[in-house]
Structure formats: C-alpha cells, structure tokens
Chain A
Amino acid sequence: MSTELFEKAVALIGAVLVGGTAVVQFRNELPLRSLDANVTKLLLGLMIVGCVLAFLAAINVLGVHSAA
C-alpha cells in the first residue's frame, strides 16, 4: 500500500469516526440552553463541517488539484 493511499484511508476512517462522535456530542448538547452549551453547539457544528471536508478530501471529491 502506498503512503498516500494509507494516509487517505486514515483520513477517511478518522473523519467518519470523529465526525460521527461529534454528531452524537452535538445531539447531546441540543437540549441545553446555557451560553456555554450554545457556543459549544456552534463550535461542534463547525467541527462536523470540518470532518465532512476531510472525508471529501479523502475520497478525492475536494482538493483534487492539490498534488504537490
């Protein structure tokens, strides 16, 4: 297995695991209404977006021009 393929696999599996866990954490925070809970919800939501981006990069949907 080439290094790039291995890195893509790690990124793919990692993005799914981390993103899925972040979604669970986000859902647990949803009923809470305090300021820190609301900020946490916002930041967790954006982190989930980041996991989606990493997932799309790992499957060559985004960043396909980026071969250095």
Chain B
Amino acid sequence: MSATTLDPGQSATSHAAVAARFADVDAVYATTRDLRLLGFVLFLVSDCVFFSSFIFSYLYLRTAAPVWPPLVDGKQLPYLDVTFAAVNSVVLFGSGVTMHYALESWKKLKKGAFNGWMVATIVLGIMFLLGQAHEYSGALQIMSWTGSSFGATFYTLTGMHGFHVFIGVIYLSVLLVQANRGVYTGSKYFGLTAGTLYWHFVDVIWVALFFMFYLW
C-alpha cells in the first residue's frame, strides 16, 4: 500500500494501524514532523503567555477595585448575561469536539466523514463569532472600551480571543481545501494535527474568559 495516497475506501480502525502506516514515510518527514510539532506547541505556549498577561491585568484591576463591576459616573455597571454566554460557550466547545472527530476521521482514512466534521467545525466557529457580535451589541449599550476598567479588559480579552477564532476559521477552511487537493495523505497530515491543537487551544482560552467575565 502506498504511504502517500489517501484512499477513502480503505479503513484503519486503530491508532496502531495508523502508526504502522506512519512507519512507511520518509525519514526526513518523520524528523521534521517532530520538530515542527515542538515548534507549534511552543507557539501555543507563547500565545498562552500573551493571554496570561491580559488575564493577570484583569485580575489585578478587579481585585484592586473597591466594587465590581466598577462604578461609572456614580452608577455600578451591570453583570453580563451569563445564559447567552453559556450557550455560546457550548457552541465553541462543540466545535472542539467536531474538530477532534475530523482529525480522527482523517487518521482512519474516512475522507467523507472528515469533510463533514470540518464543515461542522467551521460553521460552529462562525456561529460563535456571530454570538460574540450579538454579545457586543448588547454590551456596548452599557459600557464602552475606554469608559471603565471592566470594559477595557472585557473588550480587549474577548476581542483578542474572537480574533483568534476568526483566524482559526480561516485556518481550518484552508486546511479543508488543502486536504481535498491532496496536500495531506494518510501518513502525512501534520497541518491537520496543528489545526486541531490550535482549535482546542482557542476553546481552552474561552474557558478562562467565560469563568472570569460571566461566572465569577
């Protein structure tokens, strides 16, 4: 069996089968794959540090404030709508699940299922972004970016996260096109692995933001 072709008719049902197939690839790819994977994980770590700096700024401002949400013109800002945020969170977490299934489908050489799960992931990502836009339309009625520490930290952190989701949607769309053009095979699919890790990372950042801004 060729190691560089993906035949949707074939099926491998275990990681052992995938590992056996992976053993066929050339040594250069096997070596560079590990290095690229390490580099990508380090990129995620650096992104984590980036978000951490803003998160600690928020924690400092929140704990230093006499009341939270802070006062603006003598009136306390209201809390944000937790119910809608919970629905939007579930949408984003659901996209993490579908992305994981997409990668597993690719490993098992099920190209049709892969396409379906990828499309589902992209659609859920877009739904999350639309939900965030709806959230912003409501939040902008009660607080601005520059009017309070709450608004500054909320729009900065959720805006940066939304930007990551936006980039992720484009990234996954490119991966979907590449996969269907034969860029990836049953044994060489590092791009798909990286895309899955990135999307899981975006999910996990939202866990922290959801807790800080809506539940705490």
Please report which residues of chain A, range 48-65, place their CB below 8 angstroms from some CB of chain B when the two chains form the complex: 49-51, 53-54, 56-58, 62-63, 65
Contacts of A53 in B (CB 8 A): 89, 207, 210-211, 215
Q: Given A36-B193, A47-B96, A68-B78 in contact, is the A15-B86 Cβ separation under 8 Å?
A: yes
Residues in B whose Cβ lies below 8 Å from that of A47: 93, 96, 200, 203-204, 207
Taking CB atoms, residues of chain A closer than 8 Å to B81 are 66-68
The residues of B that contact A46 with a CB separation of less than 8 Å are 203-204, 207
A50 to B34: give the CA distance in the assembly, Å.
Answer: 30
Q: Is B138 an interface residue (CB 8 A)?
A: yes
- A63 CA / B196 CA spacing, docked (Å): 30
- Evaluate contact between A66 and B200: CB separation under 8 angstroms: no
On whether A65 and B79 interact (CB within 8 A), knowing A47-B207, A53-B211, the answer reads yes
Interface pairs A-B: 10 shortest CB-CB: A14-B90, A63-B82, A50-B207, A43-B200, A11-B86, A66-B82, A66-B79, A63-B215, A57-B86, A46-B204
